[in-house]
Structure 1
Amino acid sequence: MSRPPASKPDPEPTVQDEAARAGWLYYVGGMTQDQIAAEMGVSRQRAQRLVSRAMADGLIQVRLNHRIGACMDMERALRDRYGLTRCRVVPGLGEGVDPVLGIAAAAAGELERFLRMPDPLVIGLGTGRALRGLVEAIDPLEAPQHRLVSLIGNIAPDGSASFFDVVMRISDKIRAPHYPMLVPVVSTTTEERAAFHALAPVQRVLELARACDVIFVGVGQMSEDAPLLKDGFVTAGELHQMRAAGAAGEVAGWVFDSDGQYLDFGINTRTGGVRVEPGLDRPSIGIAAGATKVPAICGAMKSRILNGLVTDMPTAEALLSAR
């Protein structure tokens, strides 16, 4: 009688085999690393390394079945298309709801990330409704090591303080020194603007604004509902003239075309404060959402006036569809 063939011993498990098992136990089985270590007869440190290797080697693929997963996909797509360094996309709030309500908390989180940094920063701030929403959403904290500076004038046409100025309001919340830009948002003449900019205190604020380590600004559209028009900084005639020349948007009061190139006439010859130059090597983050703002946001990202963005899903979808 012939003997049955001897069974072959099971081969020793490879490191990848162990990683796959550890990954399965962790991500599918829901075990802790201590439980995996006991199950596999290894140390906790080895169990931790095996779980990490399972992910690094692509043995485990995690799929996020939640609407926030779609937001993250859009963030990645916007970064790839426009070369952004920072991008946050939040779910939209639906038809008829002010999109600022949706993006304010995410924008506040982005600013708080910088405010919690221990090394001193100069943080440049624009104005507008989106920045005002950021102020209301930000949590009070102590950040006296930083300096806040306005990039835009804070004097309205009637001589009052601009309603949407944010530097003082943020300063009150974080206990940081602030430097308002004590010039008109838009001067009546180029000579008036030059006279304001010649003042020694204004020159010091301008110098500080040009040296910002990080910038947060709103983005204004140049359509018939342009914030510059609604707030009385330009006339309807000036708006139509700039639109005829290709004006698509504005950042900190400075108007640019659909390619993000600043116009060399109109209110740009009279705008107070400091304009955000294209291609900065520092974070320049736009806070904006809404269908009418899409051409403005797109232009600002094309020329890298903005290299970061906080927006919502409907706006992100439109930006990714833009030509």
Structure 2
Amino acid sequence: MRAIEDPGRRVRGRPVEDSILEAAWLYYVEECNQSEIAEQLSVSRATVVNYLQQAREQGYIELRVDAAVFNRQQLSNTLRERFGLAAALVVPGREPSLRSVALAAARYCPDLIERGDILGISWGETIYEMAERMLPRPIADLTVVQMVGSMPSPYIFTSESCSTNVALKLSGRVVNLYAPAALSSPEAAAILREEPLIRQHFSLVDGIDKAIFAVGSMDAESHVVRSGIATIEDIAWYAERGAVGVLCGRFIDATGRHLEGPIDGRMIGVTPDKLSGLSAGVLVASGKDRAPAMRGAMSAGYVTHLVTDEPTAEAILGLDG
């Protein structure tokens, strides 16, 4: 594990933070190589690598993805034209990579968010990894809203952690949904929806103008099964009726249509139609098993901006054949 320098320490008579800033300036602005920087600072090359990493982690240096460049890719062009997207950022690579897609989204998504936005955040590993990799960037008067209720989960990427982490990185106000994602019965869910705190939350949800979300797959290891939202029998029921994946905890078909069924009455969270008509609906997802749901979400018009990888993009377009 890499050691983290204490900015309060002094190295060769100067604060470590000064050395971090100088190393970052020399590397990113003056384009010196690491050996040259090590010689100038009278430290080892390994220490320079450490300084540059800390400069990124502490927000002194911000790496951004130029979406305009990636939009010139053939896959990106085809996706944008086929589904009427504003942008499609396709990460290069021969294998699907959730972490590469999450990193690209972490660098790209903050550019889409503006002062005063109400930003909806869904749940999932990709969204959690994106939030973890975001660099600090204060956005004034930002409100981040949790769109799917909480749940007992074997994962660290709970609904509330996804929304909270995004808010922390962007210095926004977080409004979490203090309710389970799925209750034991429709009657219990109906009573909870009438609670003033829950009604207030969904009044705010109605004002969301931008959202970042993922989609889930339809198998026994899917997040909705392992988190207890749906059973294997539920999955089979929805699949028989044309479901191809999960969006915000709800099942959708190949056209993105919300298929209502056994679990919907018990759910606390947004329905897919809430993603229609947003100024930015950002789908962040990777995996060939998610391609049908991604295609459905784009076909339904929920998506204005896509972040994915080459194999997943190819799988989406291959569904047209």
Does TM-score exceed 0.5, indicating one fold? yes
The offset of 1:78, in angstroms, is 0.2
SS of the residue corresponding to residue 188 of structure 2 reads helix
The corresponding residue for 1:109 is: 107
Q: CA deviation at 1:174?
A: 2.3
Equivalent in the alignment of 1:310: 307
1:188 aligns with 2:184: yes
Alignment-derived partner of residue 286 in structure 1: 283
Which structure has the larger Rg over C-alpha atoms? 1
Contact 1:122 1:148 in 2 (8 A): yes
In structure 2, the partner of 1:39 is none
Structure 1 position 206 matched with structure 2 position 207: no
Deviates more, 1:125-134 or 1:229-238: 229-238
Which residues of structure 1 form unaligned runs of 5+? 1-67
Distance 1:261 1:247, change over 3 A: same
Cα distance, 1:141 vs structure 2: 2.0
Give, as a single letter, the amino acid of the residue that structure 2 aligns with 1:232: G
Q: Is the 8 A contact 1:229 1:236 kept in 2?
A: yes
Deviations 1:73-99 (A, max 9, x none): 2111101001112211111363xxx62
CA contact (8 A) 1:154 1:165 kept: no
* Alpha-carbon spacing, 1:161–1:103, altered in 2? closer, same or farther (3 Å): closer
Partner of 2:97: 99
SS of match in other structure, 2:161: coil
- Do 1:150 and 1:180's aligned partners in 2 also have CA atoms closer than 8 Å? yes
* CA deviations over 1:133-157 (Å, ceiling 9, x no partner): 1111100122241100011102337
Deviation digits for residues 199-250 of structure 1 (CA, Å, limit 9, x no counterpart): 1111111111121110100111123332211222211111111111111111
> Match of 2:259?
263
Show the 5 A alignment for 1:62-81.
Answer: 72-81=73-82
1:172 and 1:238 map into 2 onto residues whose CA distance is 36
Cα offset, 1:198, TM superposition? 0.9
1:167 to 160, 163, 167: 163
Q: Where does the alignment leave 5 or more consecutive residues of structure 2 unmatched?
A: 1-68
SS in 2 for 1:225: coil
Amino acid at match of 2:175: Y
Partner of 1:322: 319
CA distance in 2, matches of 1:180, 1:78: 33
Assess if the C-alpha contact under 8 Å between 2:124 and 2:157 holds in 1. no
Within the candidate set 256, 268, 273, 2:269 is matched to 273
Contact 1:103 1:287 in 2 (8 A): yes
**Change over 3 Å in CA distance of 1:157–1:130 after alignment to 2:** closer
Does the Cα contact within 8 Å between 2:125 and 2:157 map onto a contact in 1? no
Give 2:53's aligned residue.
none
Distance 1:156 1:285 in 2: 26
Quote the offset at 1:281 in angstroms. Answer: 4.2
**SS of alignment partner, residue 284 of structure 1:** strand
Q: For 1:104-136, what per-residue CA distance to the aligned partner results, in whole angstroms no more than 9, with x for missing partners?
A: 122112321134x3x310000001001011111
2: CA distance, partners of 1:208 / 1:294: 31
Choose which of 248, 268, 280 in structure 2 pairs with 1:252. Answer: 248
Q: Find the residue that maps to 2:263 and give its secondary structure.
A: helix
Give the counterpart letter for 2:84 in structure 1.
G
How far apart are the structure 2 equivalents of 1:263 and 1:131? 23
Normalised by the length of structure 2, the TM-score is 0.72
Q: In 2, distance between residues paired with 1:317 and 1:132?
A: 24
Q: Conserved in 2, the CA contact under 8 Å of 1:228 and 1:234?
A: yes
TM-align CA RMSD = 2.3
Give secondary structure in 2 for the equivalent of 1:266.
coil
Of 291, 295, 298 in structure 1, the residue corresponding to residue 292 of structure 2 is 295
Q: Report if aligned partners of 1:154, 1:180 keep a CA contact under 8 Å in 2.
A: no
Greater CA drift, 145-154 or 183-192: 183-192
Return the alpha-carbon distance in structure 2 between the equivalents of residues 161 and 183 of structure 1: 16
Contact 2:70 2:89 in 1 (8 A): no
Aligned to 2:227: 231
Q: How does 1:12-23 map to 2 (within 5 A)?
A: none
Partner of 2:212: 216
